Amino acid sequence: MDQIDRVEARLELLEDFLKEVQKWAGKFAIDEDDLLYVDPAVQQKLAREMAESRSRVNRMLIAAKQAVMEAGISTSVEVGAPAILGGRVDRHVDIFGMIFTPMYGMSFVPHVLCMVEQAIGVYQNLKDGTGLVRVGKRESLDILGAIERALRPAFKQPPTNEKAVQDIIETILQSVGVSYHREKERAPVGPTAFIPDFTLPDLNLAIEAKLTNVKHSAADVQREIAEDITAFRTKWPHILFVVYDCGVISDPEQLRRENQKLFGVRVLVVKH
């Protein structure tokens, strides 16, 4: 399946998913107490239709979530408790996983619909060739997934330097079977040459590893990321930062989300 076919397939999937969620939310997102006042025969029919509609949503859910993520759109939101409970932000919630489960009386369906519509807009632009949006190639997403799965289990003890993280990433790239260079290509900016840890010529991708610990804070890493982006962008349209965190990043989702939003780069935070 070529790039155009994949874009059209995702568009079709997301549009079908959008309609199915809208149908479920419009017809079946009701309070169960309301069913107490419905004729038993109608209750059975409604319960059957609800189960069928929910099943259709569930069958498309994971693929739709993946398509939204591949469009560069976060699938989580911060959820805050009501003021009566302190108004604190409890956690980042995967709204696709909570689509049928309200929290503090709030439904996540509107958030899901909004994110799906945004993703449809991305893929529509890709299909039309407007050049207004860019999405990484499928292979780069496979690499990200492989690093996310394998990097943390490779360390029994926290790594003490970035080279240790780079070495494991190199092993992962070898296992994936992609062609890469390690600390070979450079992006000269004035008198300084910026050298990514890894470059993948076939994907126009640069990968840079970072390590955070008590001596190297999240703020330090963010400054480095901002500097690297300016230089790397002169040669590589796609950039992936892999941050191995030894307990100092309190909100990895915020780091990921804001770099995606402000700079259009992917940041993978792996916590020890």
The beta strand positions in the chain, using DSSP E, are 76-80, 89-94, 181-182, 187-189, 192-194, 198-200, 205-212, 238-245, 266-271
Tell me how far apart the alpha carbons of residues 127 and 11 are, in angstroms, rounded to a whole number.
9
**How many distinct structural domains can be found in the chain?**
2
- 93: confidence class by pLDDT, cuts 50, 70, 90: confident
Would you state the pLDDT for residue 1?
45
Cβ-contact 207, 169 below 8 angstroms: yes
In a domain, 109, yes or no: yes
Residues 158 and 101 in one domain: no
In a domain, 99, yes or no: yes
Query: The domain spanning residue 212 has which CATH number?
Result: 3.40.91.80
Residues 67 and 147 in one domain: no
Cβ-contact 53, 27 below 8 angstroms: yes
In a domain, 133, yes or no: no
Q: What are phi and psi of 233, to 5 degrees?
A: -65, -20
Tell me how far apart the alpha carbons of residues 76 and 253 are, in angstroms, rounded to a whole number.
8
Domain boundary among 101, 128, 155: 128
Q: Give the model confidence (pLDDT) of 57-91 as tens digits.
A: 999 998 888 788 777 777 777 676 665 555 555 55
Residues 212 and 242 in one domain: yes
Q: Which domain holds residue 71?
A: 3-128
Q: Which residues contact 168 (CB under 8 A, 6 or more apart)?
A: 150, 151, 154, 155
Select from 154, 155, 182 the least CA-distant residue to 170. 182
Q: Which residue has the tokens 């976060």?
A: 74
Domain boundary among 104, 128, 152: 128
- In the chain, the percentage of residues whose pLDDT exceeds 90 is 39
Residues 219 and 112 in one domain: no
Give the sign of the dihedral formed by CA 65, CA 179, CA 170, CA 255: negative
Would you state the pLDDT for residue 134?
61
Residues 119 and 149 in one domain: no
In a domain, 240, yes or no: yes
Residues 201 and 113 in one domain: no
* Selected residue with higher pLDDT from 138 and 15: 15
Rounded to the nearest integer, the mean pLDDT of the chain is 83
Would you state the pLDDT for residue 183?
94
Residues 199 and 263 in one domain: yes
Domain boundary among 128, 152, 187: 128
Residues 205 and 246 in one domain: yes
Residues 119 and 169 in one domain: no
Q: Give the model confidence (pLDDT) of 192-231 as tens digits.
A: 889 999 999 888 899 999 999 999 999 999 999 999 998 9
**Report field, pTM of the whole predicted structure over 0.85:** no
Q: Which residues contact 133 (CB under 8 A, 6 or more apart)?
A: 72, 122, 125, 126
**DSSP for residue 161:** S
